[in-house]
Structure 1
Amino acid sequence: MKSGKYVIESIENGLVKLLFSDDETIETLVEVDQLKHPVKPGDVLYIKIENGKWTSNPLPVETEKRRAQAKALLEKLKNKSQ
């Protein structure tokens, strides 16, 4: 894992799948209890790595921006199919 923005792809069986936002083909799994804040799929986090240890911080503005973009795209596709 490297420092940067990650998106939570899924949470299953106590594991969080993180996708590196610059290249979403890069996946990382972490245990949900390693995150010190509540999370849900679609959340954007900034992960910082220093001295071999990592910390995560939620990015709520970035999360809402991505959700709004996804909602707009779904609406556009929905209207196109009608």
Structure 2
Amino acid sequence: MKSNKYTLDRVEGELAVFLKYPSETETLHISTSELDEGVKEGDIVLISIENDIYKVERLVENTANQREKVQGLLEKLKNQRK
């Protein structure tokens, strides 16, 4: 079974667009019907592929850490403008 981390970048109609984490240079498109209801844009997930079936697991701690890091960078930028 192959597994990789991805970030849910956006939803376009019936497709969820994921960017491979952390480089965000590769994309993966999955039908939104294969996602759990709790997965939302910006979430970091572990996607496993077996027999053309996707299993998407939300990585809550990774997502929270990334959001804190981004928030810190935004605060730093705001403070530089003052």
The TM-score by the shorter chain falls in which range? 0.7 to 0.9
How far off its partner does 1:52 sit? 3.6
Give 5+ residue unaligned stretches, structure 1. Answer: none
Number of equivalenced pairs: 81
Runs of 4+ aligned residues of structure 1 deviating over 4 Å after TM superposition are none
How far off its partner does 1:56 sit? 1.1
How far off its partner does 1:69 sit? 0.4
How far off its partner does 1:12 sit? 2.5
Q: Secondary structure of 1:33's match?
A: helix
Pairing 1:1-82 to 2, within 5 Å after superposition: 3-82=3-82
How far off its partner does 1:71 sit? 0.3
TM-score by length of 1: 0.86
Give 5+ residue unaligned stretches, structure 2. Answer: none
Contact 2:34 2:54 in 1 (8 A): no
Partners of 1:54 and 1:12 in 2: CA distance = 18
TM-score by length of 2: 0.86
Contact 2:16 2:30 in 1 (8 A): yes
Contact 2:4 2:47 in 1 (8 A): yes
How far off its partner does 1:49 sit? 1.9
CA RMSD of aligned residues (A): 1.5
